[in-house]
């Protein structure tokens, strides 16, 4: 395909040429906002190109909607899943292909079973989608795409939400689909080692143009990073790991500082199951404590309870010695805690602009008299856009931001509140290499200035790199606590797997 696309003044894609071969995995790399998702949305008929053509098996296709795309054998698993939570897997599949007249759930169930045995995808047709773990939901999405006899499968950042084990099974699935069923797979990821592991061919997008398409064996991490950020990027050496990052040294707490967050005997029950059990944690000013664990061991419930999205069943959460349990999100903010939870779309108002979203927490700061000063809001937003290197303008609707840039808006807003306790879930999920380095440095900087930070992450490198202390959570309980400077990946891995 050869494509150009602009959104008003924003040139998202400029004369991009991209080809996927059947039986091969073609990886698509690029910085946040480079245009990866936009390109794939065009292929899947979710967005129309301004110019350009798409060729499928040599003949030109006019893809005006996902339905057309599906009929042409294109399937896509988007960054955010499009499933109906309370319905079963079989019902979800029926939705895309209801057919005419009477629907037969019986047939749909059999269809799911056929597909899952054909492709070696473990999926229970009668499972309720919202009860499935993320990896399971993703398999349903893939199954949905495959159920239309798809020949080209697009996976947009599929590994961002998966556990290492799920990533392995996804990769063997993808390899199977390519080798045995002859599919062409487009794979988007920010993780270089994944790209090098799974792909046959790699294309790199930068600022809306393809800067390189090469065979996998011709490449290494260093080259890839250089292609992504451009050879002239001053941080290049740091990013590829040739030089150690210039993050401030981990705080040596000479005199112990005040405790800013104290969690005692937290219990969170959902549907009669204790998702978090007897969780206690103390965080001092200026320290970063990582809660490490494989996704699904109570972390999301823990974050929701800490931030007040869902109050805990039992236990105390003290922020600056004030018990905030029962005071909701706003009570916690007043006490000095703010944070970012996992689901970005439930924290950003898509229809409002970036500047408005940034101001939303406390818009009266920008009031002159009774009115909001748009210029003050815009100026402040411009500051944060520059500081966090967000690819957008203050007036852009937040809903049109790329995934990584949305994450940066949330982080910028969190720090804007000058919290004494910051709780961040998966701070660098979906971020490109340079943004990841930048966000980690920012977290260290804030800690140096005295913020107590809790990072919830399953990325071992991240946890070891930025935290002072690591607590490992397994099945909702703390199973170990380690100091970052002495902890090893192996030790952490063992604890996270529940092998004491």
Q: Within its chain, how far is the Cα of 58 from the centroid?
A: 35
* Residue 12 contact, options another protein, ligand ATP, Mg ion, none, Cβ 5-8 Å cut-off depending on partner type: ligand ATP
**Selected binder of another protein within 29, 61, 83, 281 (CB under 8 A):** 61
d(CA 8, CA 2): 20
**Selected binder of ligand ATP within 137, 148, 391, 440 (CB under 6 A):** 391
> Whats the size of the chain, residue-wise?
500
The interface mask with ligand ATP, positions 20-39, x = CB under 6 A, is ----------x-xxxxxxx-
Closer residue to ligand ATP, CB minimum distance, 12 or 470: 12
SS3 467: coil
How many residues touch another protein under the rule CB under 8 A: the total is 43
CA atoms within 13 A on the CB side of 278: 4
Closer residue to another protein, CB minimum distance, 230 or 395: 395
Beta carbon of residue 332, minimum distance to Mg ion (angstroms, whole number): 31
**370 is a site residue for another protein (CB under 8 A):** yes
Does residue 281 contact residue 470 with C-beta atoms inside 8 Å? no
**Selected binder of Mg ion within 45, 49, 312, 403 (CB under 5 A):** 403
Q: Contacts with another protein in 39-58 (CB under 8 A)?
A: 46-48
**Which of these, 498, 348, 492, lies nearest to 409 by C-alpha position?**
348
**Selected binder of Mg ion within 33, 37, 137, 332 (CB under 5 A):** 37
**394 is a site residue for Mg ion (CB under 5 A):** no
Whole-number Cα distances in Å, 214 to 18, 200, 203:
12, 9, 7
**Residue 223, number of CB atoms within 10 A of its CB:** 16
**189 is a site residue for Mg ion (CB under 5 A):** no
Does residue 482 contact residue 467 with C-beta atoms inside 8 Å? no
d(CA 278, CA 313): 11
Stretch (H or E) spanning 443: helix 433-448
**Selected binder of another protein within 15, 362, 461, 481 (CB under 8 A):** 362
**7 is a site residue for ligand ATP (CB under 6 A):** yes
Closer residue to ligand ATP, CB minimum distance, 391 or 446: 391
d(CA 2, CA 127): 41
Whole-number Cα distances in Å, 67 to 43, 44, 52, 91:
12, 9, 20, 18
- Strand segments, DSSP code E, in 157-272 are 184-188, 201-206, 209-215, 259-270
Applying CB under 6 A, which part among 161-169, 300-308, 340-348, 400-408 lies near ligand ATP? 400-408
Binding residues for another protein, per CB under 8 A? 7-8, 46-48, 59-62, 64-65, 67-68, 307, 309, 329-330, 333, 338, 341, 345-352, 356-357, 359-364, 366-367, 370-372, 413, 417
Q: Which residues bind ligand ATP (CB under 6 A)?
A: 7, 10, 12, 30, 32-38, 391-392, 396, 400-405
């Amino acid at each position: 395909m050869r494509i150009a696309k602009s959104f008003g003044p924003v040139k998202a894609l400029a004369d991009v040429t991209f080809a996927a071969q059947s039986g091969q995995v073609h990886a698509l790399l690029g910085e946040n906002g480079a245009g990866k998702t936009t390109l794939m949305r065009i292929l899947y008929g979710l967005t129309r190109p301004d110019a350009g053509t798409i060729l499928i098996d040599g003949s030109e296709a006019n893809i005006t909607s996902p339905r057309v795309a599906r009929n042409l054998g294109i399937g896509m698993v988007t960054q955010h899943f499009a499933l109906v939570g309370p319905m079963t897997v079989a019902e979800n599949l029926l939705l895309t292909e209801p057919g005419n007249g009477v629907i037969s759930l019986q047939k749909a169930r059999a269809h799911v079973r056929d597909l899952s045995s054909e492709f070696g995808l473990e999926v229970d047709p009668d499972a309720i989608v919202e009860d499935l773990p993320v990896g399971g939901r993703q398999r349903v999405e893939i199954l949905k795409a495959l159920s239309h006899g798809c020949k080209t499968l697009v996976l947009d950042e599929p590994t961002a939400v998966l556990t290492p084990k799920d990533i392995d099974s996804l990769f063997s699935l993808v390899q199977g689909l390519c080798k045995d069923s002859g599919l062409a797979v487009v794979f988007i990821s920010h993780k270089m080692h994944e790209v090098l592991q799974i792909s046959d061919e790699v294309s790199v997008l930068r600022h809306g143009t393809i800067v390189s398409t090469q065979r996998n064996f011709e490449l290494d991490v260093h080259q890839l990073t250089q292609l992504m950020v451009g050879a002239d990027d001053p941080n290049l050496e740091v990013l590829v790991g040739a030089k150690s990052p210039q993050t401030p040294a981990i705080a040596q707490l000479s005199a112990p500082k005040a405790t800013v967050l104290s969690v005692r005997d937290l219990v969170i029950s959902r549907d009669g199951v204790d998702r978090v059990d007897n969780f206690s944690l103390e965080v001092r000013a200026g320290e970063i404590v990582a809660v490490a664990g494989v996704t699904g061991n109570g972390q999301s419930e823990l974050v929701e309870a800490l931030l007040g999205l869902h109050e805990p069943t039992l236990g105390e959460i003290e922020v600056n010695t004030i018990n905030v349990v029962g005071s909701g999100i706003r009570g916690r903010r007043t006490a000095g805690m703010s944070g970012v939870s996992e689901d970005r779309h439930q924290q950003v108002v898509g229809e409002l602009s970036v500047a408005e979203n940034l101001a939303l927490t406390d818009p009266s700061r920008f009031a002159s008299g009774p009115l909001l000063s748009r210029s003050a809001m815009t100026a402040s937003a411009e500051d944060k856009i520059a500081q966090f290197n967000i690819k957008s303008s203050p007036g852009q609707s937040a809903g049109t931001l790329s995934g990584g840039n949305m994450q940066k808006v949330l982080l910028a807003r969190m720090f804007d509140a000058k919290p004494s306790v910051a709780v961040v879930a998966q701070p660098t999920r979906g971020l490109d290499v340079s943004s990841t380095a930048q966000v980690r440095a920012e977290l260290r900087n804030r800690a140096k200035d005295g913020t107590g930070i809790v990072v919830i992450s399953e990325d071992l490198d991240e946890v070891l790199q930025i935290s002072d202390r690591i607590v490992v959570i397994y099945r909702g309980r703390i199973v170990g606590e380690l100091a970052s400077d002495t902890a090893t990946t192996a030790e952490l891995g063992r604890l996270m797997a529940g092998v004491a």
